Structure 1
Amino acid sequence: MDKSPNSLLAQTKRRLRRFDLKARKGLGQHFLVDREVLGAIVAAAELSPSDVVVEIGPGLGILTGELAQKAGRVIAVELDDKLAALLKQTLASLDNVTIINDDVLKIAPQDLLEKQAGLGYKVVANLPYYITSPVLRHFLEASAKPRTMIVMVQKEVAEAIAAKPGDMSLLSISVQYYAEPKIISLVPAQCFYPAPKVDSAIVKIDVYPKPKVDVDEKGFFAVVRAGFAAPRKQLANSLAQGLGKDKAEVLPLLKEAGIAPQRRAETLTIEEWAGLWRVFEGGKDADR
């Protein structure tokens, strides 16, 4: 990584000193200081002058400036009051950038956009571990979904998001129900200042026009959550525990869905979960 006086690391340190700021551990702040990684994020977003970008956690605004050169409009949402003030000052000359000092989870995406993204919008975010899942759900479950999300997350979380059957988790299902995720590149810890304890990865999430399977969303995820209630257990046991049923009630439903009871939740495809939900819904109808 470049450590010259003109490097991104040096630029970051100067900006922090100028505004008397330090990275806040409580907010999981680690500033990206590698230009190649910065370029990879911008390239992955495939921006055009017609694009509206929502950037979450713009930090010192270095990526924000790059996004503003490619996109028609950038809406940068920063929780940290001091960083938001810095951004409003340092990016004041960019008339296509709007800085919002707020918690992105408290703003509905459709309100954030102010009806200016008729063809959809894109999300770019460097997400701390503690907020990754809530932010993904916030946008993927919204009525105004993005077309694409480019997110920097912990490597372990990236692998969970893009997992294949055999390594699936509730997070995997929650993302892949709505979208197709792909790990673009791994990002070593030393690409950040201060360096975190773990490596990260850039994930591109292309959102489907409609969910991958045709189900009742609430009911589908109730079954999925039940299946992962005890992920180390066989599916028959974890479903019984998660749904508050006897194992004897669950076994014939698994058989009807064509799923072996000894399998574990991590091995099921989204289509198999959908089939299982349909069988459980049919069982409810039979009980009425």
Structure 2
Amino acid sequence: MTTSPLANPTATREMLEAFGLATKHRLGQNFLIDNHVIEHIMALAELTGSERVLEVGPGIGTLTLALVQEAARVTSIEMDAELEPVLSAHAMDHSNFRFIMGDALAVPPAAIAEAGEGEPTLLVANLPYNVAATIILQFFQTMPSLRRAVVMVQKEVADRIAAVPGTKAYGAYTVKLSLYGEVTGRFEVPPRCFMPAPHVDSAVVRIDRVDVSDVEGEGAASADAEAVARVVDAAFAQRRKTIRNSMSSNGFDKDALDAAFEACGIAPTARAEALTTEDFIALAASLTSAPCGE
């Protein structure tokens, strides 16, 4: 199994001290110090040696040093300028590694493709928790080449990603992400696997890309992700209201809604969290004048 030379407390401390980061580091990173977690991430990623991997938030390179062993190319995006010397040292040691300093949400996909000598095919990362959910959805939306993501996130975010209809964690984000990917793996990571130990539980999820047209359900082929997302946002805008009232309060005509609900067999008195992704796709197709019924 692929491991990382930095995934232990001693090596992490030595790396931080070598670059003068032990006492002045200020962004609150929690460094992974458990090689079993690295092994499990790599197993989920299923690298074959041909992939161009994108990593966000590499820190001192703990996961990076495992990825460069198995991927054709690894491109990491790091926001903390103090970590640039560490990443530069890794880049000197590994010819298949490049990094970009900046905000991952602001770096253009073209710049990522240029650094990686091609568009990335996998996202594998211990993501910054405050922007993890946004990064995952935005990257799937803006980088069609991404076919899989294996990402560590806060447990609550993992719950939202993997939620099913009728549960508290199920919401607009769950549905919009499901238009691009489906969860195919997950494992929990306790605080003791990090230094310092965070005050939250973590989880790694694997998301494999799907296409809206691949989602089973009437109208799927004629609905596009943006149209479905508009319907989803309006439906969940006021969760305590019925789907008809929430959507009519957020830009949709009541008569058009009633016709779409009838055509798609959706009760107008239902609430958004009761609808499946297929329901939202069918509803969007009907609202854009595409047939969703027999």
TM-score > 0.5, shorter chain as reference = yes
SS of the residue 1:77 aligns to? strand
Give the drift of 1:52: 1.1
Partner of 1:33: 33
What is the CA–CA distance in structure 2 between the aligned matches of 1:40 and 1:46, rounded to whole Å?
10
Distance 2:24 2:287 in 1: 47
1:253–1:147 Cα change, 3 Å: closer
- d(CA) in 1 for partners of 2:23, 2:211: 38
Aligned equivalents of 2:131, 2:65: Cα separation in 1: 24
CA RMSD of aligned residues (A): 2.5
Match of 1:275 in 2: 282
Q: Residue type of the partner of 1:243?
A: G
What are the within-5 Å matches in structure 2 for residues 84-99 of structure 1? 84-99=84-99
Q: Is the 8 A contact 1:109 1:144 kept in 2?
A: no
Divergent runs of 4+, >4 A? 22-28
Deviation of 1:25 after TM superposition, in Å, equals: 8.9
Q: Is there any run of 5+ residues in structure 2 with no aligned partner, and where?
A: 1-5
The equivalent residue for 1:186 is: 188
In 2, Cα distance between the equivalents of 1:80 and 1:14? 19
What TM-score, normalized to structure 1?
0.86
Instruction: Note the C-alpha offset of 1:145.
Output: 3.1
**Alignment identity in percent?**
36
**1:222-250: CA deviations, max 9, x gaps?**
1110001011222122212222655x764
Any conservation in 2 of the 1:122–1:146 contact (CA below 8 Å)?
yes
211-220 or 32-41, which deviates more: 211-220
- Contact 1:23–1:30 (Cα < 8 Å) also in 2: no
Residue of structure 2 in register with 1:240 after alignment: 248
Amino acid at match of 1:266: E
Output the amino acid matched with 1:206: D
CA contact (8 A) 2:63 2:125 kept: no
Give per-residue Cα distances to partners, 1:19-39, cap 9 Å, x unaligned: 221599975521111110011
Check conservation: 1:139, 1:145, Cα contact below 8 A. Answer: no
| Stretch moving more, 33-42 or 230-239 | 230-239
Look up the equivalent residue of 2:195 and give its one-letter code. Answer: Y
| Superposition deviation, residue 217 in structure 1 | 2.7
- Match of 2:158, SS state, is helix
For 1:28 and 1:176, the matched residues in 2 are separated by 31
* Runs of 5+ unmatched residues, structure 1: 1-5, 284-288
Whole-angstrom CA distance in 2 between matches of 1:10 and 1:52: 30
Give how far 1:57 is off. 0.8
Aligned residues: 276
Q: Does 1:174 align with 2:176?
A: yes
Q: TM-score, normalised by structure 2?
A: 0.85
